[in-house]
Structure 1
């Protein structure tokens, strides 16, 4: 971990607690990695937004892996992964180029606006009972459209896109909350890897911080992924919406009163 930001045992404890918290939410809800990691690294750990973005992308590539293990059988719509993730990889590079032209505060406020829109939609929508009864017409084209949006946001904001991918998979592609979470984790991993490549040379991840953060995050995400199999889609959807609305409010407050 980089020196000069209050280091020592106290900082290590903060990072481990963040890893446990964010990993736990990722395992339970399929999001929480990027949407929480970037603000947490900026405001609690004290690193610049550019470094927080690149660090978050690396964490977004490795963090969901543990949460995927309990979902590999029956928890992922593998046919949907290709159109969404394929389009997302391409769009991540465009998002990265645009992000380089926008100020840190504008990026964080954009982040907050998108979280509010996503959270409100999740609260309004009715969760599906389970699984995918049938795919909508033109599902592959709709998957590509979703992928372009999520990939662009991944490059722009340094997120795996779970907070946008999960609602999009539910409302545009007819998935249940549980299946959308598993599918989103796969897509987030692929998009984050593309974002890491896109950001190469533009900013440097903090590898010490990544190690200290990722180990507790992966343990927590695996355990909460097991828990998620025991709770209802309705609970998961409401919890997802509440989480991102809280983060949006905190992000706006930090930008306006920093």
Structure 2
């Protein structure tokens, strides 16, 4: 019972961060599971996905309540990410766990650098519509879904900065659309990892319950923070995750 409650508390923390950054908690859960529980990379990713899928679903609903998500944009991103995530996940379960871990660390560092560099760009006026139409969203969904399938993060962390920089979306709108992309891709990736026995169900279930209890707090905070602050926090968060996982490795 003590282990269950501690894991539930960890899920509360991870769920809050997932709601804040629009990522379902997976990016921080994977390093946490590797560092705190000594899980190999594929097992950490699969177990984190057990928490991520319901968190993404709830966060998507909360974001849509506060800032209506364009259904056509969400559909273009979601369908393309579903197909490519299936390919990525099936490849990821065959890769050496150590190689996967270093690949994941490199992935986090690149994302952190990208997001932090955007702080020095001149802010653009808020756009009322995306700069590019749905065919480009299909391409973005395919790339983000593929990376999400490989690294078990749903692709939201890839899509969010691209939607803000290239497509002209605000940070909150980008995070909402990224969650729409992440829901199908995380679901199919979880199924793939589960089939290959890369999910620790006893650990993942209390994490998922804790995340469901807290993710709404993170979403509420995301809408209260200035966009520049939210972007800076996201970049620092990614960097810390990479450093912690690299230290443990």
> Per-residue displacement from partner, 1:196-220 (whole Å, max 9, x unpaired)?
2333421253333232111221121
The aligned counterpart of 1:189 is: 183
Q: Once the 2 structures are TM-superposed, how far is the Cα of residue 136 of structure 1 from its aligned partner?
A: 2.1
The aligned counterpart of 1:34 is: 26
1:253–1:196 CA distance, 2 compared to 1 (3 A): same
Q: Once the 2 structures are TM-superposed, how far is the Cα of residue 247 of structure 1 from its aligned partner?
A: 0.6
- SS of the residue corresponding to residue 229 of structure 1 reads helix
Tell me how far apart the structure 2 counterparts of residues 111 and 80 of structure 1 sit (CA, whole Å): 28
Tell me how far apart the structure 2 counterparts of residues 129 and 22 of structure 1 sit (CA, whole Å): 32
Q: Which moved more, 1:224-233 or 1:238-247?
A: 224-233
Tell me how far apart the structure 1 counterparts of residues 55 and 129 of structure 2 sit (CA, whole Å): 30
Which of 103, 122, 131 aligns to 1:136? It is 131
Tell me how far apart the structure 2 counterparts of residues 204 and 109 of structure 1 sit (CA, whole Å): 18
The aligned counterpart of 1:44 is: 36
Q: 1:81-96 residue pairs with structure 2 within 5 A? A: 81-96=74-89
Conservation of the 8 A alpha-carbon contact between 2:24 and 2:55: no
Tell me the number of residue pairs that the alignment of Structure 1 and Structure 2 aligns: 245
Matched, 1:103 2:92: no
Conservation of the 8 A alpha-carbon contact between 1:91 and 1:155: yes
Tell me how far apart the structure 2 counterparts of residues 218 and 247 of structure 1 sit (CA, whole Å): 22
Q: 1:60-209 residue pairs with structure 2 within 5 A? A: 60-73=52-65, 74-125=67-118, 126=121, 130=126, 132-137=127-132, 139-209=133-203
Tell me how far apart the structure 2 counterparts of residues 219 and 72 of structure 1 sit (CA, whole Å): 18
Q: Once the 2 structures are TM-superposed, how far is the Cα of residue 15 of structure 1 from its aligned partner?
A: 1.6
Q: Which has the higher helix share?
A: 2
Conservation of the 8 A alpha-carbon contact between 1:63 and 1:218: yes
The aligned counterpart of 1:56 is: 48
- SS of the residue corresponding to residue 107 of structure 2 reads helix
TM-score of the pair, normalised by structure 1 = 0.85
The aligned counterpart of 1:253 is: 247
Tell me how far apart the structure 2 counterparts of residues 50 and 120 of structure 1 sit (CA, whole Å): 24
- SS of the residue corresponding to residue 174 of structure 1 reads coil
Unaligned runs of 5+ in 2: none
Where has structure 1 moved over 6 Å in runs of 4 or more? none
Conservation of the 8 A alpha-carbon contact between 2:35 and 2:245: no
> Per-residue displacement from partner, 1:3-32 (whole Å, max 9, x unpaired)?
xxxxx62x3344223212210111111126
Q: Once the 2 structures are TM-superposed, how far is the Cα of residue 129 of structure 1 from its aligned partner?
A: 5.5
